């Protein structure tokens, strides 16, 4: 008897405490920038697609829900022709982001992806590609790489010397 009254009292006291639940969806929760939600493909500082279609994200994905096909522009700059994520399979583990060598694929703090129709959870490149750099600013893979592909002259990358002259006789 006493314990029941005590319990009721304690519950009553909770009414004066700060509320933990919020009135979602009218009110939005705070999500840390590192929160692993909806996946986006980002662009580099020159507003070009960052993804170089290396397939590492697809390979690492434990649910095999990423598929893409590489293609190249007229300079040989590689990018994905198609890029598809089946979000009905994705477990938001973030391994794809870890594997990506270009910061292209990023998980962002957005989880509002529910659909009535499962088919609508299949995102193509047009649904994934955003206009900005996402969480990681300033990085451009092609500045670091050795390939030129119309982005820079040969030897014009960071930490590269001029192309060698194979015909010189100087030792």
Partner 1 sequence: MAKVFIDNIEYEVPNGKNMLEVALSLGLDLPYFCWHPAMHSVGACRQCAVTNYRDENDTRGRITMACMLDATDGTRISINDQKSKDFRAGNIESLMINHPHDCPVCDEGGECHLQDMTVMSGHNYRRYRFKKRTHINQDLGPFLNHEMNRCIQCYRCVRFYNDYAGGKDFGVFASAGRVYFGRSEPGTLENEFSGNLVEVCPTGVFTDKTLKKHFTRKWDLTSAPSVCHQCSVGCNILASERYGTMRRVMTRFNGDVNGYFLCDRGRFGYEYVNDEKRLTRAAQKDASSGSDPVSSVKAHIASRPKMIGIGSPRASLESNFMLKRLVGAENFYQGIPSNEADVINEVLRVLREGKVRTPSLKEMEDFDTVFVLGEDVTNTAPMMALGLRQTAKTLPKQKAYALRIQHWNDAAIREVVQDEKGPFFLATGYATKLEEVSTSVYHGDTNSLLKLSEAITNEIRSGSGDNQSGGFSHQVAQALLASEKPLIVSGTGMMSKSIVQAAANIAGALKDAGREVGIVYAVPEANSMGLAMLGAAGSLDDAISRVNNEKDLTAVVLETNLFYRTDNQTASDFLSHCHKTILIDSMENECTQEADFILPAGTFAESDGTMVNNEGRAQRYYQVFKPNNDMRSSWAWLDMMINQTEEARPYDDIIREMLEANPALEKIKTLAPAADFRIGTQKIPRQTHRFSGRTSMNAHVSVHEGKPPVDNDSPLTYTMEGYHGKPPSADIPFYWSPGWNSIQSINKYQIEVGGDLHGGNPGLRLIEPNENGITRFEVNSAGNNSGRYEVLPSWHIFGSGEMSAMSPAIEKRIPDVYIAVSDKALEKAGLQGADKISVRHQSATITLPVKVDNSLPDNVVLLPYGFKDTVGWRFPFKGELERGV
Residue placing its CB nearer to partner 1 in the complex, 41 or 141: 141
**Binding partner of 162, given partner 1, ligand SF4, none, CB within 5-8 angstroms per partner class:** partner 1
Q: Is 67 in the site for ligand SF4 (CB under 6 A)?
A: no
Contact 111, 38 (CB under 8 A): yes
Q: Is 105 in the site for ligand SF4 (CB under 6 A)?
A: yes
The gap from C-alpha 81 to its chain's centroid, in whole angstroms, comes to 17
For the CB of residue 90, give the shortest distance to ligand SF4 in the complex, in Å: 3
Q: What is the dihedral of CA 106, 111, 116, 122, to 10 degrees?
A: 10
One of 95, 113, 122, 148 touching ligand SF4 (CB under 6 A): 95
d(CA 156, CA 79): 21
Q: Is 56 in the site for ligand SF4 (CB under 6 A)?
A: yes
Residue ranges in 126-155 that form contacts with ligand SF4 under rule CB under 6 A: none
Could you tell me which residues are beta bridge partners of residue 39?
107
């Amino acid at each position: 008897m006493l314990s029941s009254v005590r319990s009721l009292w304690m519950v009553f006291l909770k009414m004066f405490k700060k509320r933990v639940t919020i009135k979602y969806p009218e009110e939005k929760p705070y999500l840390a920038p590192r929160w692993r939600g909806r996946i986006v493909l980002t662009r580099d500082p020159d507003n070009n697609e960052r993804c170089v279609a290396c397939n590492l994200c697809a390979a690492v994905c434990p649910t095999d829900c990423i598929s893409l096909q590489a293609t190249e522009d007229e300079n040989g700059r590689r990018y994905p022709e198609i890029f598809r994520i089946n979000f009905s399979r994705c477990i938001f583990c973030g391994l794809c982001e870890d594997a990506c060598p270009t910061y292209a694929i990023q998980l962002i703090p957005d989880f509002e992806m529910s659909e009535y129709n499962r088919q609508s959870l299949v995102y193509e490149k047009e649904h994934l590609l955003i206009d900005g750099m996402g969480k990681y600013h300033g990085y451009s893979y092609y500045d670091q790489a050795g390939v030129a592909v119309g982005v820079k002259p040969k030897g014009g990358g960071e930490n590269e010397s001029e192309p060698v002259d194979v015909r010189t006789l100087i030792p």
